[in-house]
Chain A
Amino acid sequence: MAGADQSPAHVRFLNVINALRQMSPLRGLTADESALLDELIVQWHCEREITVGSIMNGPKQESASTIHRRLVGLKEKGFVAFRASPSDKRVKYVVPTTIATSYAQELERRLLCFERGLGAS
């Protein structure tokens, strides 16, 4: 199809739809994504680096592709980023973004407030 830049209109259409989808006010985390994020926060606290493969192949009943889809969902919503290993580009680490870090800090703050509240009573 004709276009100012001669790139296919269907490609431009799909990229526009993808951008529009990100504008949706319904783009909060799903329950599964939220659960995965909570698991990642625990693992980030315990371990230095977590690979995408270790999450996908972890001890879960769900398929690797399902878990990968949730990881990609977290990435699209800005909670995680994928960083390639310097020694092996095929290996990707899942790292927290500032949004995930803020979320974990906020969770900690609220739990501390709750504990103080219980202690006071």
Chain B
Amino acid sequence: MKDQISKALQNFSIVLSIALAWLCVFNINMWLFTSLHYSERADWIFMPAALRILAVLIFGEIGAAGLAVGAYLTLSHAPTSPPAYEIGMAVTSGLAPLLGLQVCRWITPLNKDLAGLKPKDIIILSIVMAVANSLLVNACLALAGKFDGDIIQLITIFVGDVVGAAIVLVAISTAIDIFHKFRH
């Protein structure tokens, strides 16, 4: 019983941490790239996409739950917006990277513990997750009657996710390298 409570608390803290990290990076992205905002759900650079990759790779479904919560926190919550639509949009943010990871496992073999993970695997993952996210978000919009066939929006979400993830991941890798150089 104690173990279960401890595990539940652990999972809750992971979900909360990822959600807060998402909120933080989302707001930084909005501040830095306001001019690259295409529509309510599409930006030409979307840095939080990197969090999708990291959260799902490291924490699996718990990570995806954190992403969904984080995405929900960033929605506009307009009075006219149906709750089902908002929940659907939040869920796609968690579901898309999980689907992307599954598809990636068909393309490039990934060990369960990610041993031997290479940069090219992360690049493939970011592209596949961007495709999955773009399709799922627009499918959700279509179901809510908010998709007007705007192909540019589809492309924007894809490009935004790929470029945003690249910026963040290269920044993280450079920071790690600099840290290691100073340590030695």
- List A residues at the B interface (Cβ < 8 Å): 1-9, 11-13, 15-27
- List B residues at the A interface (Cβ < 8 Å): 7, 10-11, 14, 54, 57-62, 98, 112-119, 121-122, 169-170, 172-174, 176-178, 180-181
Q: List 10 A-B contacts (CB under 8 A).
A: A1-B10, A4-B60, A4-B61, A5-B60, A5-B112, A7-B112, A11-B115, A16-B122, A23-B173, A24-B176
Of the candidates A5, A15, A24, the one whose C-beta lies within 8 Å of that of B174 is A24
Interface SS, A side: loop
Interface SS, B side: helix
| Bound Cα distance from A1 to B7, whole angstroms | 7
Min distance, Cβ A36 to any Cβ of chain B, angstroms: 16
- Work out how many contacts link A and B, with CB atoms closer than 8 A: 88
Q: A16-B122, A24-B177, A27-B177 are in contact. List 15 more A-B contacts (CB 8 A).
A: A2-B7, A2-B62, A4-B60, A5-B60, A11-B115, A13-B58, A15-B115, A16-B114, A19-B117, A19-B122, A21-B176, A21-B177, A25-B174, A26-B174, A26-B178
Given known A-B contacts A1-B10, A2-B10, A26-B177, A18 and B117 have beta carbons under 8 A apart: yes
